[in-house]
Structure formats: structure tokens, C-alpha cells
A and B are shown apart, each in its own frame.
Chain A
Amino acid sequence: MAAPGKPTDDGKAPGADSGGLDLTNPRHVRALYLDTLGRTPDGDELALAMGSRPSMLLRLLCGSIGFWQHWYEEQLYYFLLLDNFRPHDPGPGQRLPDLLAGGELNALEAVRGIVLSSAFHRANPGNDTFVSVVFEQLLGMTVQREPALLEAGKRMYDGHRASLWGQSGKSQSDVVTITCDQPHFAERFLEREHSRIVGRAPERSELRRWTTELRESPSHFPQLVLGWLLSPAYSDRLQRLRRKSNSQFLQGLFVDLTGRPPDGETLERCRRALSAVADAGPLRSVIARVLLGGEHIDLPGRDDLSVQDLVVHVFQRFLGRYPGPNELETFITIFEQCECETDTLVRALTTHWEYQYY
């Protein structure tokens, strides 16, 4: 259990937001984990991170197997290869995240592999749909404005010889390969990855520079991400709360409560459900309540800590921040007066809207 923070002499909580990435601030550490691994850190990871330098921690996170597993899931989500359209699992050692973490594949090759998979083919049946999706998803094209290109792609898909951007082909895989050869493929990839991780679109000049770098050194994607997370843009983003994606919410909730992420099946069941409502708030609360009611949750009891330390502990563990004076006073008052246990405090935090942000 991480030791609860105490207010400093000037009354500020340790790690209070003061601008810039600050690993003594547990909220910043949680944000880094959510943006790189898609989940919050467990207690040990948090303690380790809070004693690290940012560049050192980010070298550990970016390019790790957890980083690539999260990246892979995000790509499947981007291509909507979900549920029945999820690609076949080739087994340990052959999975794309394994190959990426082992340096046997780079990110751009992995994207091409996903689009060449039978799952992608099944999810996008017919020449019009397949070619449109390839152009749109890989290059950001509006196919309605490029009817000649679309028709050429459809002919190529159907097995007839045709030309795309001056390259000849006559198969479905040729459509994908030629599209991935276009310079805009890497640029579009970096643009959406930057938006996903940093929460905003990149500057055009920076995007062009990163695109050149990635095309010259295709395995450098983790290093680019590391640079983004150390950038002023990311520090600026940390001054505001960003809404967790459904996957981040679920994985973070499980780690915060049980110390480990959910199994893939549970995650997918819950993610599907949350994705099926415009206002996921009520359903997120239902899931939090189910988990608190059913799983063994390792929470300190009434006798383990003073009430003040208990309240500070749950605020830091679940929100990554120290409670304000009014919050502290009210939580202590209620906890001392009611016949509730620590899980009541945790339930209040995990069903509050702030827990849905990071």
C-alpha cells in the first residue's frame, strides 16, 4: 500500500498540479500508464514510478509488451475488428504484440498485417466496401471525391489488372500493399496515434518531421511516443481532465480494485456493453458496483489506518490526488458517523464523474 501523502508546510498536497509532467503527482503517473498501457498502475508500479525520472519511466513503458498489447487493441478498435470480426489468435510468440516487442515487426508493418488479415476481409465484404475502407482508414481519403481511384481499386480487388498511384496490381492484397506504399500512410498513422495519446492533433510541421523519421527508421515509433509524452503539449493536456475510453475505464477500474487487469473475455463483454450506450455513465457505475460487490477487493479496514489516512489513501489510489480540505472533512465525518466500511468510500469515488476522467 502506498503511503498516504501529507500536506506540505505551505498547505499544498504533494504532487499538486503545478504545470509540467511531475511523477511525484500520482495523477500524472496514472495518466502515463493509461496513455501507454491502457490501464492504471498497481501499487508497486505507482511507488516505483513516483521515484523515477520521466525519461527513465517512459523508456520502460514505451515499447514494452504491455505497450504493444494496448497499441494492438487500439488498432483493432480503430479498424472496428471487434467481436466476431476479431482476428484469429495465432498463439504465444506469434501474436503481433509479441513480434512488435521482440523487434521482429514494426508498427507500420503490423498495420499492414491487420488490413491483410482474413478478419479485415470478413469485416469489409465486397469490392466497394473493402477498397473504400482501405483508402479511408489508411490514407484518410474521402473516396467520394476520388471515383476513378475507387473504381481502379475495385477492379484490382476483383482480380483485374489495374493501376493505383502508378503501381500496377491485380489482387486484393495488391490494393493493400500499394496503399501502404503511399507516403501519406505513415503520416495518417502518426496523426491518429498522436491524437489518441496526446489528446490533440499534431502541428503540421511536426507531423511532417515525425513522418520522415518514421519512414527512415520504421522501428522508432516507441521513441516518437516517448517524445510526445515529454512534450509541452502533453504537459498542457495534464492540466485538464480527459475522459477515459471505455477500455481505459474498465482496465483502470479492475487494476484499482483488484490489482490486476480483467481477463480478455470480461473486458470485451463490458467494453461492448459500454460502447452500446451514448451515456456510459450509468452503466459504468453498474459495473463498478458489481465489481465492488462480487470480487475480493483488497482495501484497508477501519482499524488499519487512521480515518484521515484512510480517506487520503482512497483518494490517491482511485483519483490520483489528495482530497481537498472540505472533501477530507466531509468524508471523515460521514465515515466516523455511519456504519459503513471502506468500500462505501470507494464506491462513492468510483461512481463519481471524476473517476471517469484522468
Chain B
Amino acid sequence: MTDQTHSHPPASGDLSRRRLLKQASLLVAAGLAPTAAMARAAAALNPAPYPATPALPGARLTERVVLVIFGGGVRSKETLGSGNTPNLDRIAASGVTMPRTVVQNLGHYGAASSILTGTWDTFGIRENGRSESPTLFEIIRREQGLPASEVWLSTSGGDQETNYAYSTASGYGAAFGANLIGGEGIFNAEFKELVVGQGGLRSHDASAEKTLSILRGAMETPLPIDGQEGLGNDPAAAARIEQYILEELRGDAATITGLGANDAKAMHVARNLLAIFRPRLLTVTLRAPDVAHGSYNDYVTTIRRNDEELGSLFDAITSDPGLSESTALFVLPEFGRNRDFNARRGLDHGDQSTELLNVNTVAWGPDFKSGVVDTSAVRSIDVAPTIVSLFGGRMGGRTGSPMKGLFA
């Protein structure tokens, strides 16, 4: 019997009526004795430790990759060597810097999506749609056979950024997408009050959960579904994610406030995801520096705050013996900003200047060179193919190319 909780229809096949009734009668006869389904549900809430992760086939030492899209439109002159980003400076000092990373001004959403798909994605700025090209999450999950719980995205935004998780590409889509959490949307005081405040969730009742599992497992939906199915988190993974969300709500993520709080939450969530799920691929997308449209000072403040958070994430990696020797880190913005101030003494993005279209990429990891500045021209769409190559795979022919200059 299969529990059919949450968002996903069963992957294949219908429930066996005979088996169902047999198990139901067994359940009754045993006075709601545990079944295999119940045992699985219980195990989901108390997962076994993760098995050791094998090295990626395309790399010598890299087992995991963390990609930080240090976004919101950030010029190089406000980052490395500016005094604003001491943490990015120290990552660069032991990694590779590529100051001639070419980007396109496709709006924040399209430009960030391009990093994830390895193609120039021409979205409308407020278009709430998905890329037609597969993301690196989908390619890696499909090629490596990874479950959704191994590939995560932590975003600072809401509805639009949720689309980063997967594309509409044929043969890919939700079934190979990334798990995604937009920290600000969930971990805020209002939602916390609603869920864990007065009259919130009842405490976990194993017996009731077993009954629910049996009932859900008996359901036989008579109609097919229209469109794509879900991410494919199995009930055990879904239960762990649900538990994680509840724990995070009970914790202090909802108390993070101030200028750039959305980005700080995204980084906070990323650190916890790394510690709890230890995913093979973790991506963080930031965007607070876009306050630059109205204020240069606020722009710099958010860059500094994001750099502090980046430092904490980097320290979490380097201080964990299970991560420090096996994790690669990429940091780059989706694009820069205009060369000159606007009338509000802020910085827009749209002048096609070098400041807008050339950014820094910083890469650090066990298979990369150390303390090197590589001035050869690369593109932001080369990042995804590089990461996919670390996993031993290849992206399609219309994408960027792996950054061979990174490797030691």
C-alpha cells in the first residue's frame, strides 16, 4: 500500500485492490497494527544517516557544488577589492577569479535563469513563466538519477523565482526539478504565527498518521491529470521537508529583519539545508542590491550584508570535515549595473556599458586552481555546463561551455 499524500499522483500503476483490502483487513484484525507503509512513514520522520557520497565522475575530488547567484545587479567595482566584500575576497584568494565574465541584460529573472540553464533566456521582466531550456538541476537529476532531496534552491524572492526550479523542456520538467524554498515567503512572523502560534499544529500523533496513511493509500482517483506532475519527492522526503519547514518556523529565521533581510534569510536557509540535507547541488539566489535603483548607499549596504552571509556559508563549508575537501563553490551576479548615476543618485541597469555587462565569477573548490585571476573571456551561461561537467555530464549543444581554465 502506498501513501499518496501531498502533491503527487503515484508514479506508475494503480493500487491493487486485492492487496489493499487484504492489508486493510489485516490492519483491522491486528487492531491497527503497523504495516510496511506505516513503517516507511515513521522512518520518514526519523531518517537514517546519509550514506557516503561517491566522488563526481567528472571530477577528482568534488562531490557537492554550491552556486551563489550574488544577484540584484552588482557591479564588479563594488565587490572584489572594494572593501565591501572581504569574504568574497578571501574566497577568491584561495580560488579562481574570472573578471571578464560576459552577461546579458535580460532582466534579473531572465539573466539569473540563464545562469541556471546555460542559455540566454529572454524572459519578460515580470513574466511568471519557466525556461524552455532544461536547468542544470534537471540535467543532473536525470543523468545521475538523483532524488529531488539531493538538489536544492534557496531563493530570496517569491512567485517568479520559484520558477527557477525546473523548465518546460521536453523530457525534463518537474519530475527532475530542484526542491526550492523562498525563505522570505515562509519564514516570516505572520506565517509563523499562523502555523506554530496559538492553535497551531497538533503534536505529531503516530497512530493518527498511520490511519491517515491507510486511508490515503486506499484512494483511487478516477481521472487523469492535466499537465505536469510534481517534483517527485516521495512521501518520506516530503515528510522530512515538512518537518524541516516546521523546525525552521519554530526557530529564528522569521526574526531576520532589516535592509536585505530577504537575502539574509535565503543564505540562512541555504546553510541549514546544507547541514540537514547535505545536497549534491545547492543554489542560492539573491536580489536585495536592486535597491540601487533608488539609493546607492542602500545598494552598498546590501552588498556588505550579503557578503557577511556568504562568509558564514563559506565557513560552514570549510569547518565541516564532510564538506570542506569535497565541495565546490561558485559566486557571480546575474549582471552589473549602469556606469552612471540616475537622477535619484541610484543605479539602474540598461546602458549596455561594460559595468553592466562584465562581472566577476569566483570559483573555489578542491579541483580548482588557487589564488588565480583568469582574464580570459567567459560567459555566465558557462557556469551551468561547468557544474554539469563536474557531475560527469554534458549540457545540450546550444548552451555555454565548461570553464576549463578553472581546473588545476
Residues 312-358 of A contacting B (Cβ, < 8 Å): 321, 324, 326-327, 329-331, 333-334, 337-338, 340, 344-345, 347-349, 351-354, 356-357
Which residues of chain A have C-beta atoms less than 8 A from B201's C-beta? 286, 289-290, 293
Most A CB within 10 A of own CB, among B158, B183, B201, B349: B158
B160 at the A interface (CB under 8 A): yes
Most buried by A among B8, B182, B208, B212: B212
User: What residues on A are CB-neighbors of B125 within 8 Å?
Assistant: 124, 129, 132-133, 136
Q: Does chain A have a CB within 8 A of B42?
A: no
- List B residues 196-246 near A (Cβ within 8 Å): 199-202, 208, 211-212, 214-216, 218-227, 230-231, 233, 238-239, 241-242, 245-246
Residues of A within 8 A of B126 (CB): 79-80, 123-124, 133, 136-137
Pairwise interchain contact B4-A353, C-beta atoms closer than 8 A: yes
Contact residue among B31, B195, B218 (Cβ-Cβ distance under 8 Å from A331): B218
Q: Which residues of B contact A340 (CB under 8 A)?
A: 208, 211
Task: Identify which of A132, A199, A284 contacts B7 (C-beta below 8 A).
Answer: A284
Instruction: Considering the complex, give the chain A residue whose CB is closest to the CB of B231.
Output: A279
Q: Identify which of B153, B160, B223 contacts A240 (C-beta below 8 A).
A: B223
Q: How far is the CB of A132 from chain B (nearest CB, A)?
A: 5
Q: Which of A100-108, A212-220, A270-278 contacts B (4 or more CB under 8 A)?
A: A270-278
- Closest CB in chain A relative to B263 CB, distance in Å: 14
Tell me if B4 and A352 are in contact (CB < 8 A).
yes
B180 nearest CB neighbor, chain A only: A278
In the bound complex, residues from chain A placing their C-beta under 8 Å from that of B165 are 278
Q: Which residue of B has the minimal Cβ distance to A293? A: B202
Q: Which residue of chain B lies nearest to A276 when distances are taken between CB atoms in the complex?
A: B185
Mark A238-279 against chain B: 1 for CB-CB distance below 8 A, else 0.
011111000000000000000000000110011011111111
Q: Is B162 an interface residue (CB 8 A)?
A: yes
Q: Please name the residue on chain B nearest to A13 by beta carbon.
A: B222
A301 contacts partner chain B, Cβ-Cβ < 8 Å = no
In the bound complex, residues from chain A placing their C-beta under 8 Å from that of B214 are 330, 334
Using an 8 Å CB-CB cutoff, how does the interface string of B148-190 with A read, 1 for contact, 0 for none?
Answer: 1000010100111010011000000000011111111110101
Q: Decide yes or no: A329 and B202 within 8 Å by CB, A273-B186, A347-B212, A354-B221 being known contacts.
A: no
Among B153, B188, B211, residue most surrounded by chain A Cβ atoms (within 10 Å) = B211
Interface size class on chain B is: 35 or more
In this complex, how many residues of chain A approach chain B with their Cβ under 8 Å: the count is: 76
Partner of A132 from B107, B166, B202, B246 at Cβ < 8 Å: B107
> Which B residues lie within 8 Å of A77 (CB)?
128, 159
Q: Which residues of B contact A293 (CB under 8 A)?
A: 199-202
**Cα(A285)–Cα(B199), bound, Å:** 16
Which residue of chain B lies nearest to A294 when distances are taken between CB atoms in the complex? B199
Asked if B28 lies at the interface with its beta carbon under 8 angstroms from chain A, I say yes
Nearest opposing residue in chain A for B163, CB measure = A278
Q: Are B219 and A132 in contact (CB under 8 A)?
A: no
- Is B35 part of the binding interface, using a Cβ–Cβ cutoff of 8 Å? no
Chain A residues within CB distance 8 Å of chain B? 17, 77-80, 82-83, 123-129, 132-133, 136-137, 142-144, 154, 199, 237, 239-243, 265-266, 269-270, 272-287, 289-290, 293-294, 321, 324, 326-327, 329-331, 333-334, 337-338, 340, 344-345, 347-349, 351-354, 356-357
* 19 pairs, A vs B, C-beta closer than 8 Å: A83-B158, A127-B350, A136-B124, A142-B124, A144-B106, A242-B226, A276-B158, A276-B181, A279-B231, A285-B6, A285-B242, A293-B199, A293-B201, A321-B222, A326-B17, A330-B21, A345-B215, A353-B9, A354-B221
